[in-house]
Structure 1
Amino acid sequence: MKCIVGLGNPGRKYKETRHNIGFMVIDELVKRNNWELDKSKFNGKYAMERVDGEKIILLQPQTFMNLSGESLRPLMDFYQIDVEDILVIYDDLDLPTGKIRLRQKGGHGGHNGIRSLIDHLGTKEFKRIRIGVGRPVKPIPVVDYVLGKFPKEEQDDVAASITKSADACEAWLKSPFLEVMNEYNN
């Protein structure tokens, strides 16, 4: 069983903010495959589907970003999902808007959602798709920036990064992650 986790914050207030780009990728996967996030448990909304006979779970934690591990850990325990079968999608200030980067492991890089996952999973070794949201050009607190919406001039880059990330997720369901990394990091 594999689990794809998109990080974000619950509620309409945060719907199209930079911090919710992980949710946007899950929404894209749901839309393109006619799936439904119809289950609500483990402090999250999730879908359980099958791809080529393998069960997969798509998860949007509803705990708010900084507590994401409180949703994923109980889900992993209940369904007995190994950490090597987890893929986490989240926003990254250190990548330009529209750029994606796949990694097999890493630190939290100051991202509190990833910090929560590392704390609750007890490891830094889980697969990730980092989606660039850029850094603020004006002096603005980082929290205000990531909770802000993408400006109109970035919409095409954002849409492309969501599509490419969803494509990478689907590729991982059929191929080893190293192969997917090599294809999508170029």
Structure 2
Amino acid sequence: MPDNTWLVVGLGNPGAQYAGNRHNVGQMVLDELASRIGATFKTHKTPSRVAEGFVRPGGPKLVLAKPNTYMNTSGGPVSALLKFYSLGTDRLLVVHDELDIPFDTIRLKAGGGHGGHNGLRDIQKATGSPDFTRVRVGIGRPPGRQDPADYVLKDFAGAERQSLPMLLSDAADAVEAVVEQGLVAAQQKFHAPS
């Protein structure tokens, strides 16, 4: 593998019935990235669908991966992909939904806890490390007393759907910024007050 290869994992659940759920926003971002690099997702030797390509000619290589397992068991496929591509967690970038960030907001971080996110928890357990980069896509808190577990498994609401293409584009931009410019530069760009 080239030295500048990144494994970019989009978290979500497999199957058409989950495709539009808030919990699947990580995989939606990967669709945007795959479109940009002209790659198609294919079945892989690991339990994932993978698309590969370059951010730009001579630029970082992206291995875009959607685990074929449910969100809560994402760790096995991610660990298998890291082994397959001979990459460490320093070259792992996970794109996921984040309840504690308002909808239409992107936040970037490296390391830290899982914040109750079962997909992140399982990746940390399977890789033995919390030290990977995250692109956190804000989906906001559920309204009223709605159970967060139900909320994340619902599709985006009408008004959200109108803004969703821009949010996915911003998150894809954030992934590209991390792999091309580094986390700190990307944070300065995406965390700046608008």
Q: Deviations over 1:78-115 (max 9, x none)?
A: 21111111110000110111111000111110100000
1:44 and 2:44 matched? no
Bigger CA drift: 43-52 or 126-135?
43-52
Structure 2 equivalent of residue 94 of structure 1: 100
Q: Deviations over 1:10-50 (max 9, x none)?
A: 00000010000000000001112221112423111011223
Structure 1 equivalent of residue 64 of structure 2: 58
Structure 2 equivalent of residue 4 of structure 1: 8
RMSD: 1.3
1:6-155 to 2 correspondences below 5 Å: 6-51=10-55, 52=58, 54-155=60-161
Q: Deviations over 1:113-153 (max 9, x none)?
A: 00001101111111001111111113222211100011101
CA distance in 2, matches of 1:155, 1:20: 13
Q: Secondary structure at the match of 1:3?
A: strand
2:52 maps to a residue whose letter is: M
CA distance in 1, matches of 2:35, 2:110: 26
Ranges in structure 2 where 5+ consecutive residues have no aligned partner: none
Normalising by structure 1, report the TM-score: 0.94
1:160 and 2:160 matched? no
Ranges in structure 1 where 5+ consecutive residues have no aligned partner: none
2:158 maps to a residue whose letter is: K
> 1:88·1:128 contact (CA, 8 Å) conserved in 2?
yes
> 1:97·1:158 contact (CA, 8 Å) conserved in 2?
no
Normalising by structure 2, report the TM-score: 0.91
Superposition misfits of 4+ residues, deviation over 4 angstroms:
none
> 2:109·2:133 contact (CA, 8 Å) conserved in 1?
yes
Q: Secondary structure at the match of 2:112?
A: coil
Percent pairwise identity: 38
Aligned residues: 186
1:126 maps to a residue whose letter is: F
Pair 1:177–1:136, CA change in 2 (3 A) = same
Q: Deviations over 1:32-75 (max 9, x none)?
A: 22211124231110112234254320001111100001111011
Task: After TM superposition, give the deviation of residue 185 of structure 1 in Å.
Answer: 1.5
